[in-house]
Structures are given as structure tokens and as C-alpha cells.
Structure 1
Amino acid sequence: MKNILVGIDFHDQTEELISKSVEIADQLKAKLWLLHVASPNPDFVGYEAGPEFIRDKRADILWSEHKKISDYTKGIKEKGVDAEGLLIQGATIETILTESIKLDIELIIAGYHEHNFFYNAFFGNTSVQIIKESKIPVLVFPLY
């Protein structure tokens, strides 16, 4: 196994998920790809981008997320595991599956955390969706 992708969402347990993923990548001598899928820009999904301060705020959020991914990647490399971080805007499931094919991923790692009924009804659960749609093996860690 040469390439492992771990989807991260900056949830409270993201570091725990990364730590477990690093252990697996280290054991398998695989490259670890950290992927965060950011929400698409408002104009991409059919809304006006809004006032400049909203665009500036969105840019700050993306910069902050990019910095976190860079920091995580640096920490992983310091542990002797090859790693790359990616921040891509788009639809979460579609982006994860598309990037998995592009990067020749052999294992997708995702975290699972409980959401209430209404959240699941409106947004679904990312790890469950990945399992349903992926042709690549998926390893899910419960995060509580």
C-alpha cells in the first residue's frame, strides 16, 4: 500500500484521527494525504459573493484552514512519514472520491462522530456516504 487519504474536517478530534492515520501509514510505509474539502465559494453555488467584507472573511477562513493543514503535514513529516496536505473547495463526497482516483489512493480513512437527527436529515453523514459510494476500501475511526 503506497497512498492513504485521510479526510479531515477540523472537528475537535481531528488530531486524534491524524495520529491514528500516521500510525497506519508508518506501519505500511505509505504516503499520507491529508484532505480537507472546504465549502465552495458562494458564487459557485449560485449565490452572489456578497460585500467585500464577506469575501475577506471567507479568504481568512481558507487561509487559516490551509495553515492548519500545513502544520499537520509538517508534524507528520517530522515523525518520518511522507505526507502532503490538500485544501480543495467543492462538494465533500465527490471531491474525496475524485481526488482518491487522481492520487491512486488505496485506503481512505475517515472519522465518524455522532450528529443529531436533524443534522443527519439535512446534511447526512460524510463517512457513511463515503462507504456507500467508494470503490476504494474505507477505514472509519469512531471519534467521541
Structure 2
Amino acid sequence: MKNILVAVDKPKNAELLTSHAVELAKLTGGKIWITQVAAANPTDLLSRESGPQYIYDKRTEDNKKASLFLKEFAEEVEEKHKVPTVGFLIEGSVIKSIKKIVEENNIDLVIAGHRKKNIIYGLFTENKKKDLIDELSIPLLAIPLG
């Protein structure tokens, strides 16, 4: 496990998910990649016309904050645990973005959080974890979240 990707959906879960990556990276001499996938603002004029500007401005501001958090958090992890760590935000669809990161950085393991949902919820929503497992050719470690 030389390259471990930690997929964070919310900053409050970053520490729990990353702690598992740190343990594995120390055992294997690996590197940790911490990322969050965010929705991208549309770049074409016609798409931007479909909604109020403040929505795009808010999303842009949220993405800047998340990007800064991930970078600073990765620096703290590296300093505290002496494990090479990179933090970054990527915009796009979750499955495609994670698959791209995995391929470009030779990731050996993806660590992601998992929330228990009821069966009815699962029938009417997409299952990103299952879709991710289907798309990746590497292990996915799902960590239970509260």
C-alpha cells in the first residue's frame, strides 16, 4: 500500500478517515492523498443563465474553503505523523473524479466513509460506494461514520 487515497465528504470526517490511512502508510512506507470531490460550477454561459449568480458564488466560496482546509489538514497530518501527505479538492462527478485520481497517482487503496441508510433510501438513490467498487480495480476500505 504505497499510495492511499482518503475520500472525504465533510471536513468533520477527515480525521477519522485519515487516521486509518496513517496507520497503513506507516506500516508500508506509503503516501496519503486526501481529497474531496465537489460539484463544479458550469463554465458555459447558457448553463450559468439557469440559476441565480449567488448560487455559483456560494459554491465557488465553499470550494475555496474546502480546498484550503484539505491543504492545511494534509500539512498537519504530514508534520504530526511524518507520513508524506497531499490534500486537494477536485471538481466533477464523484466516481469519475476518484477513478481519475486512482489511475493518475497509482493509488493502491481508497478509504471512504460509510453511513448506514435504510432500504427505502437505497431504492431511490444512487449507491456511490457500490458504483465506485464496480469502477475500481483496487480495494475500497469503507469506514463506518456516526
* Range into which the TM-score falls when normalised by the shorter chain: 0.7 to 0.9
Identity in percent = 34
Amino acid at match of 2:66: E
2:7 maps to 7
Q: SS of the counterpart of 2:76?
A: helix
Aligned to 2:25: 25
Question: Which deviates the most, 10-19 or 114-123?
Answer: 114-123
Aligned to 1:109: 111
Structure number with the higher helix fraction is: 2
The alignment status of 1:97 with 2:95, answered yes or no, reads no
5+ unaligned residues in a row in structure 2: which ranges? none
Q: CA deviation at 1:120?
A: 3.2
Given residue 82 of structure 2, which amino acid in structure 1 is its aligned partner?
A: G
Greater mean alpha carbon deviation, residues 3-12 or residues 110-119 = 110-119
Report the counterpart of residue 48 of structure 2 in structure 1.
Answer: 48
Where does 1:127-138 land on structure 2 (aligned, <5 Å)?
A: 127-138=129-140
Find the counterpart in structure 2 of residue 139 from structure 1: 141
Cα root mean square deviation, aligned = 2.2
Q: Which runs of 4+ in 1 moved over 4 A?
A: 116-119
Instruction: Measure the CA separation in 2 of the matches of 1:119 and 1:15.
Output: 27
Shift of 1:105: 0.8
TM-score, length-scaled by structure 2: 0.84
CA drift at 1:32: 0.3
Distance 2:64 2:43 in 1: 19
1:40 match: secondary structure: coil
User: Equivalents in 1 of 2:105, 2:52: separation in Å?
Assistant: 37
Is 1:61 the equivalent of 2:96? no
